[in-house]
Amino acid sequence: MEIEPAEEVKEPPRIHRLDESVVNRIAAGEVIQRPVSAVKELVENSLDASSTSISVLVKDGGLKLIQVSDDGHGIRYEDLPILCERHTTSKLSKYEDLQSIKSMGFRGEALASMTYVGHVTVTTITRGQLHGYRVSYRDGVMENEPKACAAVKGTQIVIENLFYNMVARRKTLQNSADDYTKIVDLLSRFAIHHIDVSFSCRKHGAARADVHSVATPSRLNAIRSVYGLSVAQNLIKIEASDNDPSSSVFEMDGFISNSNYVAKKTTMVLFINDRLVECTALKRALEVVYVATLPKASKPFIYMSITLPPEHVDVNVHPTKREVSLLNQEVIVEKIQSVVESVLRNSNESRTFQEQTVEATPSVPSVTNNDLHLSPSPSGSKSQRVPVNKIVRTDSSDPAGRMHAYLYKNPQKYLGRDSSLTTVRSSVRQRRNLKETADLTSIQELINDIDRKCHSGLLDIVRQSTYIGMADDVFALLQHNTHLYLANVVNLSKELMYQQVLRRFAHFNAIQLSEPAPLQELIMLALKEEDSDLESNENDDLKKKIAEVEWEEEKNCFQSLAAALGNFYAMHPPMLPNPSGKGLEFYRKRKHGKHTQDGGNSCHVDGTAEEDEFEHELLSEAETAWAQREWSIQHVLFPSMRLFLKPPNSMASNGTFVRVASLEKLYKIFERC
């Protein structure tokens, strides 16, 4: 009889302290993520030094060389030995100083991090000195004693061979052109905010700077100098403020693009207390305003400077200081959002257009300017030669391009028009996807399924299409480029609500019950309610089985609940027949149990006509219900779809989207008629 050897018991691994050099290099990789991170830290140090001129020189996207020179107050000779040690700073001395800090640097990690991933050389001179000093640093310490040298006012910091000791990081950053573009974009943002400072940025060996701004008293001039005339002349001045301690205290001023500005991507330059940051919530909120207010969901240019009390801003929330946390952030975002929407609405009343030039050819007859549909274009851009059958025709005066505007005059007879639209748009904006997700693996798996099964072609149609109107009770007519599509609004709204239930899980308002609800009893009551024969007990066992919930099957449970809620909130047609079509007969009054079959007026023996009589109260209720549904489809469903819906692959084959016509081909047919 063989005896099996006892299983060897493994000891748990020991916990030990990392070597200080390893700790510092890990920290450096978080602070200096790529060359543009180093440039940002150095430029912010120069601004803290009260510089009036800052120049940046870059080689190979910053991997071989980054040189930042300024004319600031310089660095004291006695401070040079600890200049690049971790957590050495002149900005604060105790933690409480963070509550009122106004400088851009405060952690004392930037310069230290650069010395752990590159070779750093500092040349500096302070006021009153006859000469400056130059010293090199590696791994946080001086490589030699500072050497006297000739120097101009201020400080020059040179970083060479960035990430020389991080092979993987360096390989991922080989595309130097991409990183240089990021550095140029960074300097452009600084230049339009700090208008009292001159900025320049150029490649090593280049004679001309890619960013060159001079101090100016006008912000608009700075934007024109950096971003060009076509941007500057399409901007609107904007201001907002609040001084209510119970809600929010802030001041905001800036510029936003108007309805004539056209761009492929959003440019948002945001400074909070003079600190260049990102605010995803604010950016998302403003993009929603542009989608809902302007045609074709124009991508905006936005510059904003927000000033708050220092104690209302937590600057210590991100290793690279890219983000900050604001007190009453939701309130501030909502107030700014409302002001932007109001300004955009007023600006959208007057727009300028540029003609499209069409060359006459044997196959295409001459077309006068009056025959052309004119598309908005930034002033100063070149006119495009677009074949007449390629021009996309949508109603530019209405963001929805609505067909009904040409059919009848009061599409919102039963609605509150502007007030209702403003309320709904605000509601749609508040339903933007939250950054945080539920901490449940099953929910995340379902969301991942949605993302994985998203159809890219349909996604582009959903994002870029123009709503035209309802074709019947179920299908809406959309235009995407020069194609017309029928879209099943029931399927679309059902899928949209299903996805929103999952993405917003754990972020809905909660109802606290004093005692847990008896779910099984409630489900049994619902099942019995559906049974017409209440006295029959034959199906009780089946009902009990249905009423039982398999709580262990969490993913299936959440999926079923989300699907049920999606179906409940879908845009199903109202129960009452549509009075705008054949359903009108349903509301005609019956006389003596008979109903007129001719669909018109009844006739007396003397030949006089009697006007049709309808159940006006019921008819009015039906008209209101159908008008409310159509209005909700236009102003709630489709704007929400553009923001949130990721159409699954199944919609490409189940009839949810049907391409019905090509405007390009239709034009050729009409041309022959």
Residue-wise pLDDT tens digits, 137-157: 988 889 889 999 988 889 999
Give the span between the Cα atoms of 107 and 115, in whole angstroms.
15
Give the span between the Cα atoms of 497 and 565, in whole angstroms.
7
Residue 244: pLDDT band by 50, 70, 90 thresholds?
confident
CA-based radius of gyration for the chain: 33
User: What residues pair up with 467 in beta bridges, in sequence order?
Assistant: 478
Q: How many CB atoms lie within 10 A of CB 428?
A: 20
Specify the pTM. Answer: 0.53
Is 622:579 a contact under the CB 8 Å cutoff? yes
Q: What are phi and psi of 217, to 5 degrees?
A: -80, -10
pLDDT at 366 over 90: no
Q: Name residue, tokens 């905006």.
A: 300
Q: Find, among 372, 399, 409, 463, the residue nearest to 634 by Cα.
A: 399
Mean pLDDT along residues 51-75: 92
Per DSSP, the chain holds a count of helices (H) and strands (E) of 19, 22
Share of residues in the chain with pLDDT > 70 (%): 68
Q: Is 477 helix (H, G, I), strand (E, B) or coil?
A: strand
CA distance readout (Å), 135 to 147, 238, 311, 617: 6, 47, 37, 89
Predicted confidence (pLDDT) per residue in 253-298, tens digit:
999 998 888 888 889 999 988 888 888 888 888 888 888 777 665 6
* pLDDT value of position 543: 62
Q: What angle do CA 456, 458, 463 make, to 5 degrees?
A: 95
Predicted confidence (pLDDT) per residue in 189-206, tens digit:
999 999 999 999 999 988
| pLDDT, greater one: 483 or 599 | 483
Mean pLDDT along residues 388-417: 46
Share of residues in the chain with pLDDT > 90 (%): 18
pLDDT at 66 over 90: yes
Mean pLDDT along residues 554-578: 86
Q: Find, among 110, 114, 271, 255, the residue nearest to 186 by Cα.
A: 271
Q: Find, among 146, 164, 168, 166, the residue nearest to 155 by Cα.
A: 146
pLDDT at 320 over 50: yes
pLDDT at 421 over 80: no
Task: Look at 97-106, 405-414, 647-656 and tell me which has the smallest mean pLDDT.
Answer: 405-414
* pLDDT value of position 396: 38
Strands (E), 141-234: 141-142, 147-149, 154-160, 198-203, 211-213
pLDDT at 135 over 60: yes
Mean pLDDT along residues 588-609: 50
Residue 357: pLDDT band by 50, 70, 90 thresholds?
very low
* pLDDT value of position 632: 87
Give the span between the Cα atoms of 242 and 355, in whole angstroms.
43
Mean pLDDT along residues 385-412: 47
Give the span between the Cα atoms of 565 and 551, in whole angstroms.
18
| pLDDT, greater one: 372 or 180 | 180
* pLDDT value of position 268: 92
Name, of 63-77, 160-174, 387-401, 526-540, the range with top average pLDDT: 63-77
The CATH number given to 228-347 is 3.30.230.10
Q: Is 209 helix (H, G, I), strand (E, B) or coil?
A: coil
* pLDDT value of position 185: 93
* pLDDT value of position 405: 45
Residue 610: pLDDT band by 50, 70, 90 thresholds?
very low
Q: What fold does the segment set 20-213 form as a domain?
A: Heat Shock Protein 90 (3.30.565)
Give the span between the Cα atoms of 396 and 383, in whole angstroms.
18
Mean pLDDT along residues 342-347: 82
pLDDT at 437 over 90: no
Q: Is 624 helix (H, G, I), strand (E, B) or coil?
A: helix
Is 132:44 a contact under the CB 8 Å cutoff? no
Cβ contacts of residue 534 below 8 Å, gap of 6+? 528
* pLDDT value of position 158: 94
20-213 and 228-347 in the same fold: no
Mean pLDDT along residues 104-110: 62
* pLDDT value of position 662: 77
Mean pLDDT along residues 463-477: 87
Q: Name residue, tokens 């260049």.
A: 276
One-letter amino acid at 140 equals G
Give the span between the Cα atoms of 502 and 562, in whole angstroms.
7
Cβ contacts of residue 493 below 8 Å, gap of 6+? 569, 570, 571, 637
* pLDDT value of position 605: 43
* pLDDT value of position 613: 75
Residue 467: pLDDT band by 50, 70, 90 thresholds?
confident
Q: How many CB atoms lie within 10 A of CB 102?
A: 12
- Strands 313-314 vs 466-470: parallel, antiparallel or unpaired: unpaired
pLDDT at 299 over 70: yes
Q: What are phi and psi of 203, to 5 degrees?
A: -75, 150
pLDDT at 9 over 90: no
Q: Is 122 helix (H, G, I), strand (E, B) or coil?
A: strand
Residue 540: pLDDT band by 50, 70, 90 thresholds?
low
* Whole-number average pLDDT of the chain: 76
Residue 519: pLDDT band by 50, 70, 90 thresholds?
confident
Q: Where are the domains of the chain?
A: 20-213, 228-347, 441-510+518-527+539-576+627-663
- Strands 313-314 vs 301-307: parallel, antiparallel or unpaired: unpaired
Task: Look at 199-213, 338-352, 603-617 and tell me which has the smallest mean pLDDT.
Answer: 603-617
